[in-house]
Structures are given as C-alpha cells and as structure tokens.
Amino acid sequence: MQCKTHSIRSGYDGKQCLVHARCCAAPDLLLATAQYLNVEGSDLFSGLFCSISRDHGETWSEFMPEEGLAAIREGDRITVGCDATPLYHRKTGKILLLGHTAQYREGDMSPTGEARKTFCSIYNPDTGHFGQMRFLEMPEGYDRCGNGSGQSVELENGDLLIPVYYYKGKDPFMASMVLRCRFDGENLTLLEMGNSLSMSIGRGLYEPSLVCHQGVYYMTMRNDECGCVAKSTDGLHYGNMHLWQWSDGSLLDNYNTQQHWMTVGDELYLVYTRRGADNDHVFRHRAPLFAAKVENMKLRRDTETVLVGQRGARLGNFGVTAWENGKALVMAAEWMQPKGCEKYGSDNSIFLAVAEP
C-alpha cells in the first residue's frame, strides 16, 4: 500500500474548530461534511457544514453551513445532528448523510444524553445542499439509540446495514448492534435488528463500524479501555468477539477511540490510533492515525503505516471511504482540545489521505 496525504484547509481562531470531517465518493464529485466545535464546552457542536471537490480531491470549496441541518430549537432544548458520515447509495445514485443527534439545554456546555436518534439526510445535486434531517423510526424502548461515527454497508439489493449503539433500559453500559434498513430514494425504513454485543467495562461498546470483505462481515467497536472486533456471515448476527490484537497475540494499545475499516485493492486494513508512538502529549493518544493489514481478525505489525502524522491535536474522529480503482480515502480534522495543543504545530487542518495498492 502507498499513501499520499495533504491538507485541504487550515486555520484556527482559538474559539471553534471543525471536527468530524468525513467524505464520500460519488461518480462526479467528492463530498465532505464537518461541523464546528466550541472549544469552551464538551462536545458542544454546531449544525453541519459541507464541502465539494470536483477535481479528485485536489481542491475543495469552503465548508459552508447546511440550513437543512442546522440546530433545532424546541423550548429550552437544542437538538443537533452530529457524528455524521456521508454515503453514496449505489442503488438510487443518491448521497445520504447518516448520523445521530445530541441534545442540549439552553446555556449548557455539554450534551444532556437524554435522547439520541439516527437521522438520514439526502443531498440534492440540483441545489447543492442536503435536505432536512429525517429520523429513523425505532421500536419502543430505543429512544437512546443512534448511528454515530459509523461505517455502513450497502447490500446488492440496496438495503443498508447500519451499525448503532444504544442503552438497553436501565443498563449503564452501551451495546452495539446492526440494523438492516431500506432506502427507497426518499425514506429510510427499519426492516430488521441484529443481535446485541456488550461489555461491562467502562461505558460498554459503542461507535461501531462495519465492512464486508470477501463475503464476511466485520464490526469494530470502541470501548473505554480497548478496541473490539466481531464477525458475521449475514451482516446482522455477530460472534467471535475479541480485543484487537497483533498477529503475535499481543494487544493493540488502542483505547477510548473509534477505529474504522479501509479496503485497498483486495486487502483489508484497520485505521486506528494507539499508545506508544511518542504521543503521550496527545489527548487519549489520538494521533498519529495508523493503518495496518487485517488477517484472521488480527493486525500485521509489519504492515503498520502512518496515514496522518501528529502535531499535538487529536485525530480520532475521522472517516474512511472506498474510492476508484481500489483506492481509499481517509479524512481527519485536527481537534483543537485541550487548549494548548497548537503549540506542537496543529492549526485545525483537515487532512485527506489517499491510499492505493
């Protein structure tokens, strides 16, 4: 695998920074989404912004606010769509944005955690903008369930396998599962729910991402103390879960940070962060951003590659998408918290890494 990385924008005013930068590839454009974070708060997000490239990622438009994805105000509650990932839906030829909601009380500096819903928004190429958020209807008892920072899989018939994490009743630990949904070009409808995977450590298992490789489905999940992986033959029901390891059986020192999948040519890679990379000064060791080849649900240490280097700021909330000719795109924004991380050179740059066979 070879990788070339460049910055598509930079600049930091000391008050807010773009985060959750992710992109998808459609036949005639690359589309990226991100949102601003108020650095005075904890996960205090704006509505969503969008940027377009029509020259294979060399140049990008400014990130502009999407009016249809602005914060929703109802009384003293503010609902924001966040942790979103754009997806090109081959069956309908439409670009979707899948994510979930965070809710705040007026004047609060962090989410309330009271409600979480999976949303879908559709990009209109005629206007160049996304439409209003449409919320996925879930069965009773799943009012704290969302698709956040996840990679979904489109099946041959156009159905989507969407990973979500949620709280089961009064259980204090989050669990992860996969939803099979139908998208008809306008609406996203739940068809079936998979089995639940959980772990009674930290906050449980969350921020799951999916991939299908050589007919087998894999799900990677975040835990406060480790990263976990499970596999499935049907994409809905997962077993054989274990902690991420190197091929020699030693543990990958990833913790409290999401991981995502990358397919380059015929090879499957995991993209992740970890301890032990001269990065003790980085929040939760969330930079640099690495990739390593996956074989038998383990990582080959001799294939580890740095996709995006560290400059003091964390890179852990990132996105990966397949591209043309067996290539993959990885997009990551420098998250400018805690204050002072800029002294190592970070300036809220958004990096695009192009990996090819």
pLDDT, averaged across the chain: 97
What does the pLDDT read at residue 254?
98
Peptide bond into 125 cis (omega under 30): no
- Tell me how many domains the chain contains: 1
Q: DSSP string covering 295-306, please?
A: ETTEE-GGG-EE
pLDDT at 125 over 90: yes
pLDDT tens track for 249-298: 999 999 999 999 999 999 999 999 999 999 999 999 999 999 999 999 99
What does the pLDDT read at residue 113?
81
pLDDT at 108 over 90: no
As a whole number of Å, the end-to-end CA separation of the chain is 5
> Using an 8 Å Cβ cutoff, are 104 and 77 in contact?
yes
pLDDT at 143 over 90: no
Residue 202 buriedness (CB in 10 A; 0-12 / 13-18 / 19+): middle
Helix, strand, coil tally for the chain in percent (to 5): 5, 50, 45
Q: Diameter of the chain by CA atoms?
A: 55
pLDDT at 106 over 90: no
pLDDT at 349 over 90: yes
How many other C-beta atoms lie within 10 A of the C-beta of residue 222?
26
What does the pLDDT read at residue 188?
98
Which structural domain range is residue 112 located in? 2-356
Residue 12, φ and ψ in degrees, nearest 5: -145, 130
Confidence of residue 109 (pLDDT cuts 50, 70, 90): confident
* CATH code, 248: 2.120.10.10
pTM for this entry: 0.97
Non-local CB neighbours of 168 within 8 Å, separated by 6+ positions: 175, 196, 198
Distance of CA 357 to the CA centre of its chain: 23
Average pLDDT over residues 306-325: 98
